[in-house]
Structures are given as C-alpha cells and as structure tokens.
Amino acid sequence: MSEKIMLGYDLQLCSMQGLKIPLYAPLGGHYIVVGGSGSGKSTAVLYWLYKCRNQNIQLYIADFKASKEFIGITDAFAEFEACYDLIKTYYDIFIDTPEGGDGCIKILLIDEIAGLLTHFSMTKEGKQKADEIRGIMSSVLMLGRSRKCFLWLSMQRYTASIFPSSSGSADNFHVCVGLGRMTVDGRKGLFAGEHFEGEDDVIFGQGKGIVLIDGQPLKSLIIPKVSKKKILSLLQK
C-alpha cells in the first residue's frame, strides 16, 4: 500500500539545524498515540486525519469520554457506552471484508481506550464487554492489514493490559507515537527500550515526542502548531 500520511517533522533536526524534514508513515497501518492531558494527542490525530482526507477511507470513531473533538467528521461516531456497539459494528464489517480488501481503507479510532475498558470492567456484564472489545482489537491488529482494516488507539498512559495477556497484539502496531512527558515504564513498553542518538538533548513537550515507524529507527517528532478548531471545521466539510 503506497498511501502515506505526513505525521509531522523531525523535532531533532528542527531544533538543532533549523531543518523542516517531514516524517511520513504508511496510511495502511495500525497506530497508537500516547500522551498525558495537554500533550497534543487530539491535535495530532486530527492533523493526521486531515492529511489523509482525500483518500478512500471509511472512518469509525469511538470517543468514550465525549471530548467533542471528533464530532462531525464521520456519521459512524459514538460516545460513552455506545462505543461498544460501534466497535461491534466495525468488527462485523471487518469480518465481511475479503482478503485484499474491497478498495476502501477502514479505520477504527478509539479515543481513551483505557478509560473505556476500565469503565466496562466495573461490572460483571461490563467485564464481558471489555473482554470482547479486547478480542476484537486483537483480531483487527493481527488480521486487519490483509483486509485494509486498521486500528488507531489514543490513550494517556500506555499499558499492555488493554490487550489479552500473551496475545502479542501490541507488537502489531506499525506506528507508535509518544507525546510530551512519558513515564519510564510507558516509554519502555511503547518503544521496547529503544533510544536514538542525541535524544538527551531534545526537549519534549506539547506536540513534541517520539515516533517509531515500522522498519525505521526511532525518531523525534513535532506536530505543526495548528488550530484544532480549524482542522475540525475543514474535516467537517
């Protein structure tokens, strides 16, 4: 699949040499972005969606916390507990999609997945739903690429517990992004302990972080300063 998304620029080169070198990643891939409140996660995701707006994409958005930052982009949209039904709908479509795909890229974006799973896990019935969501994510992560069906996850802290234990699902992400300050454990889990030369000299913050693209070395990343409101208005057109 040749389609690519511009993720942003190489932060290290911007900071040290004043060079704006774009960083690209395949559109056909599973994405995970991690960062605390105010780190720029939502801006990054909106920016990437804007960059691939001209592609043939079916977008499904599960916004558990009702952030209102993704409203109007797609009709396949859900908040709070309705996210469960949307995820199930996506899975049914995923199952019906043949090997090789049907000419359309299908993306399921789940914002604050950890919060969604924690909420459902508070009751016996909800725990069954949480386990079902974990199973759906694992299936899409392992089999989705051949059907052009992809999972995008956004969360404040990375934890492998969002996937079934020993499933190896987390290893199937093609693009991993960590924004702002990350915990040592979260960084280690997301980037498998990798580092890049000169990393200690780079200052991370809002819209700034680290990216690991499948088949490439670890790099620094800066998301262009853009207005979320403006991007959302453009995506809603």
Tokens in use for 48? 């990437």
pTM: 0.93
| β-pair partners for 132 | none
Q: What percent helix, strand, coil does the chain show, rounded to 5? A: 40, 25, 40
Residue 59 parent element (H or E): strand 57-63
Tokens of 98: 């043949």
Q: Which residues contact 229 (CB under 8 A, 6 or more apart)?
A: none
Sequential pLDDT tens for the chain (237 residues): 458 999 999 999 887 777 789 999 999 999 999 998 889 999 999 999 999 888 899 999 999 999 888 999 999 999 999 999 999 999 999 999 999 999 999 999 999 999 999 999 998 889 999 999 999 999 999 999 999 999 999 999 887 778 765 556 668 899 999 998 877 777 888 887 788 888 887 888 899 999 999 989 999 999 988 777 888 787 776
Beta bridge partners of 57: 105
